[in-house]
Amino acid sequence: MKRKAAELGFCRVGIVPAEDLAAEGEALRKWLALGHHGEMRWMEREPEKRSDPRLIVPGARSVVALAMNYFTPHRHELNPDAGKISRYAWGDDYHDVLRERLNMLLDWVRAEVPGASGKASVDTAPILEKAWAARAGLGWIGKHSNLITKDHGSWVFLGELILDIELDYDRPEPEEHCGTCTACLDACPTGAIVQPYVVDSRQCISYATIELRDEKLPGDIAANLNGWLYGCDICQDVCPWNRFEKPTGETRFEPRGDETSLSLEQVAEMEHEEYVERFRRSAMKRTKLTGLKRNAEELRRTSIEGATSSADSDKL
């Protein structure tokens, strides 16, 4: 299984019994009760399935947790007239890439074990992906709430196979290597990491620029965008573990058109047809054209206001 997963481009794989992640499920319920999920109402649905994969695949006995490195050695351009794109959305939609590879792995399992059944999941089924990745020994959940691996940092996508067959299981010791570091908490411009390991989505730039459907961005978010048009990587950029980042071998994660940022003027003038063509099979279609235009407008406004304020200060 692990050799085949490596052949398919996965950098980490762990295999554990399918069981109820009771503690992690309870933590999720508390997080939801505090309203930290904002308007992501789908996270409230079927909470029992999120912690117990046997409710997703009847008769499930094993969970194969996998990670794929998506780091590419490019940087954002420092241009006030362009909006930065989160690294995960530079290339093709990771859902498509990972789902293709997971289905290939599932087909291989079925060929090796006739009668085996299961389900491949990439961020779409109600599964606690980071919890399963940590349980399977892929890494640990950092204070910024992202999974961190020792050999690739946090620049990894996660996926799972839930299978109805018994396998040889890993027995990893629980990991936690953040120690006393608070780099991610200190760097977040909106204070979205309200305490170690807990993110309040309502204060998060990534949530606001991607998931929030309001006509205007919240004032504290708009004032602290730091040039982000779609998503935000600040908490990962400052993480000391990301010094171990390595270029991915998956070419589909390379920036489309060598773009890590987008012209704010281009976004403001973009028509629907151009949007559909530009972001076909891209994760950036998540925010819709109206959301992208809203984000670009906020960046342009704050840039103008900042320039005006600077000019006024120079006069004084």
Contact status, residue 146 vs residue 130, Cβ threshold 8 Å:
yes
How distant is the alpha carbon of residue 57 from its chain centre? 24
Q: Which of 2, 7, 11, 1 is nearest to 139 (CA)?
A: 11
Q: Which of 189, 197, 180, 191 is nearest to 144 (CA)?
A: 197
Q: Is 123 a catalytic residue?
A: yes
Measured distance CA(274)–CA(267) in Å, rounded: 10
Here the tokens at position 231 are: 């998503």
Catalytic option among 123, 170, 220, 237: 123
Q: Which of 112, 181, 170 is nearest to 142 (CA)?
A: 181
Cβ atoms within 10 Å of 17's Cβ, excluding its own: 13
Q: Which of 8, 315, 312, 267 is nearest to 159 (CA)?
A: 8
How distant is the alpha carbon of residue 182 from its chain centre? 20
DSSP string, 52-79: -GGGTSTT--EEEEEEEE---S------
Measured distance CA(64)–CA(139) in Å, rounded: 14
Residues annotated as part of the active site:
123
